[in-house]
């Protein structure tokens, strides 16, 4: 069937999603009123549409695609795996060019950039059917589209240690860990950016943790926060990487003692990786993160998009195969009727929750601070090698 293009496609989708889904200026500020279309109705209409294109930061969507196509013969899904910044840029460029390709977006929703560039501008629309929305947990991000919770948190190498050798975050600043801590570059990783930015919002806890660690009050430079003081000191010990996969590899082969990574990498233990999470640490071990799944406002396949979201959310009872690839070690369900993939409840992990509005407002400061910190860290490592 010929695709519907440009503004007509956008208008049709917005009408399908209900007239109240946006506000003046295209700002999507709340979950639109859910429609009552059944999976059967959506499937019947979806058969008249084209190939569904999913932009995702998680390769696990491929498993959902395969089972979706088996469950709904005649429908086809194309999965495009992108890093979060590239995904956001692609959706923006397609909208500007009036040549949209993306139908569904699954993105890391942690740094505030997804919200600022795609949600607040109306380029993606949160949508959940009423029977599934009734079983979603409270969403602290306020965008109505989270379907999975994870964490950006500390891990240690189980090849080197039987149990975690530290109890306080400030111990990571000690000389014994020089070059032995790995972490994704926060300027390239949304999850790591969220952790670093969230810590700026919890400086009092960090200052108190230092007092417990050192037995004295923390002395900072004029205008410097406890979080900035911590990261400047810790950065001397950190090797900055391009991804969490590099962190996990270094931990497993013993090149690193500690590493910050997304919690979903815990599933790699099933493949023999020697890694262990640090669930509890003073004052915290990381920050809560989330994934959002939404419909692109320019989608030309709205019925297939809605059917796919129903499927990836586990259908009405949460037992559908679409959600299974995401119920792994290191993940927590966004539904109150679906068990977590992780044995340790999210409430029992020492995590802080990022304030996305604060992260958006602090972006220029974060960019300047971390560019300086990473430059100084790399210079110190080079001097040590020479």
Kindly give the parts of the chain with pLDDT less than 50. 1-33, 140-142
Assess if residue 185 is contained within a domain.
Answer: yes
Q: Cβ distance 238 to 180 under 8 Å?
A: no
Q: What is the CATH number of the domain that holds 125?
A: 3.40.190.10
What's the confidence (pLDDT) of residue 112?
84
Tell me, yes or no, whether 214 and 241 share the same domain.
yes
How many alpha carbons lie under 13 Å from residue 134 in its C-beta half-sphere? 8
Give residue-wise pLDDT tens across range 120-169: 999 999 998 888 888 888 654 445 567 899 999 999 999 999 999 999 99
Tell me, yes or no, whether 322 and 234 share the same domain.
no
CA 98-99-101 angle, 5° bins:
130
Assess if residue 1 is contained within a domain.
Answer: no
Tell me, yes or no, whether 10 and 77 share the same domain.
yes
What's the confidence (pLDDT) of residue 138?
66
What's the confidence (pLDDT) of residue 113?
87
What's the confidence (pLDDT) of residue 380?
79
- E strand intervals along 266-348: 275-277, 286-296, 332-333
Beta-carbon neighbour count of residue 184 at 10 Å? 25
Tell me, yes or no, whether 204 and 297 share the same domain.
no
Q: Which of 20, 160, 101, 109 is nearest to 287 (CA)?
A: 109
- E strand intervals along the chain: 52-56, 77-81, 104-108, 124-125, 146-157, 181-184, 238-241, 258-262, 275-277, 286-296, 332-333, 351-352
Residue 40: both structure tokens together: 């059967």
CA 347-349-354 angle, 5° bins:
85
Tell me, yes or no, whether 199 and 125 share the same domain.
no
Assess if residue 363 is contained within a domain.
Answer: yes
In angstroms, the CA 102 to CA 83 distance is 15
What's the confidence (pLDDT) of residue 129?
87
Tell me, yes or no, whether 142 and 10 share the same domain.
yes
Contacts (Cβ under 8 Å, ≥6 apart) of 219: none
What's the confidence (pLDDT) of residue 343?
86
Tell me, yes or no, whether 165 and 134 share the same domain.
no
What's the confidence (pLDDT) of residue 12?
37
What's the confidence (pLDDT) of residue 147?
84
Q: Which of 89, 290, 123, 106 is nearest to 194 (CA)?
A: 290
Tell me, yes or no, whether 209 and 247 share the same domain.
yes
Listing DSSP states for 25-36 in one string gives: GG---SPPPPP-
Tell me, yes or no, whether 221 and 316 share the same domain.
no
Q: How many domains does the chain have?
A: 2
Angle subtended by helix axes 61-71 and 302-312, to nearest 10? 110
Listing DSSP states for 25-77 in one string gives: GG---SPPPPP---HHHHHHHHTTS--EEEEES-TTHHHHHHHHHHHSTT--E
Q: Which of 310, 295, 298 is nearest to 42 (CA)?
A: 310
Q: Which of 244, 279, 274 is nearest to 259 (CA)?
A: 244
What's the confidence (pLDDT) of residue 21?
36
Tell me, yes or no, whether 219 and 196 share the same domain.
yes
Tell me, yes or no, whether 353 and 342 share the same domain.
no
Q: What is the pTM of this model?
A: 0.84
What's the confidence (pLDDT) of residue 381?
74
Tell me, yes or no, whether 354 and 262 share the same domain.
yes
Assess if residue 23 is contained within a domain.
Answer: yes
The domain of 128 spans 6-149+289-348
What's the confidence (pLDDT) of residue 141?
46
């Amino acid at each position: 069937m010929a695709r519907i293009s440009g503004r007509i496609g956008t208008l049709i989708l917005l009408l399908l999603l209900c007239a109240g889904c946006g506000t003046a200026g295209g700002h999507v500020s709340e979950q639109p009123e859910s429609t009552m279309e059944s999976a059967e109705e959506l499937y019947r209409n979806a058969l008249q549409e084209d190939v569904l294109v999913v932009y995702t930061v998680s390769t696990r969507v491929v498993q959902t695609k395969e089972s979706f196509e088996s469950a709904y013969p005649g429908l086809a899904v194309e999965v495009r795996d992108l890093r979060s910044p590239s995904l956001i840029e692609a959706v923006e460029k397609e909208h500007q060019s009036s040549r949209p390709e993306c139908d569904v977006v699954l993105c890391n929703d942690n740094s505030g950039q997804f919200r600022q560039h795609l949600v607040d501008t109306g380029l993606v629309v949160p949508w959940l059917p009423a029977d599934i929305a009734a079983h979603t947990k409270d969403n602290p991000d306020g965008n109505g589209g989270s379907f999975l919770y994870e964490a950006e948190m500390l891990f240690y190498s189980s090849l080197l240690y039987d149990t975690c050798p530290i109890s306080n975050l400030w111990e990571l600043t000690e000389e014994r860990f020089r070059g032995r801590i790995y972490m994704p570059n926060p300027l390239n990783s949304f999850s790591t950016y969220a952790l670093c930015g969230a810590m700026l919002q919890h400086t009092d806890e960090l200052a108190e943790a230092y007092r417990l660690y050192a037995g004295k009050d923390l002395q900072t430079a004029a205008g410097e926060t406890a979080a900035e003081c911590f990261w400047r000191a810790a950065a001397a010990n950190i090797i900055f990487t391009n991804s969490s996969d590099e962190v996990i590899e270094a931990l497993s082969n013993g090149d690193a003692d500690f590493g910050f990574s997304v919690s979903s990498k815990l599933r790699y233990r099933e493949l023999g990786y020697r890694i262990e999470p640090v669930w509890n640490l003073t004052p915290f071990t990381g920050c809560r993160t989330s994934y959002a799944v939404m419909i692109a406002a320019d989608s030309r396949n709205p019925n297939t998009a809605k059917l796919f979201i129903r499927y990836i959310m586990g259908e009405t009872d949460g037992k559908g195969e679409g959600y299974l690839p995401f119920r792994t070690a290191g993940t927590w369900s966004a539904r109150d009727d679906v068990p977590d993939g992780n044995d340790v409840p999210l409430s029992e992990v020492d995590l802080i929750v990022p304030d996305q509005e604060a992260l958006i407002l602090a972006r220029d400061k974060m960019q300047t601070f971390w560019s300086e910190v990473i430059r100084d860290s790399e210079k110190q490592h080079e001097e040590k090698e020479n």
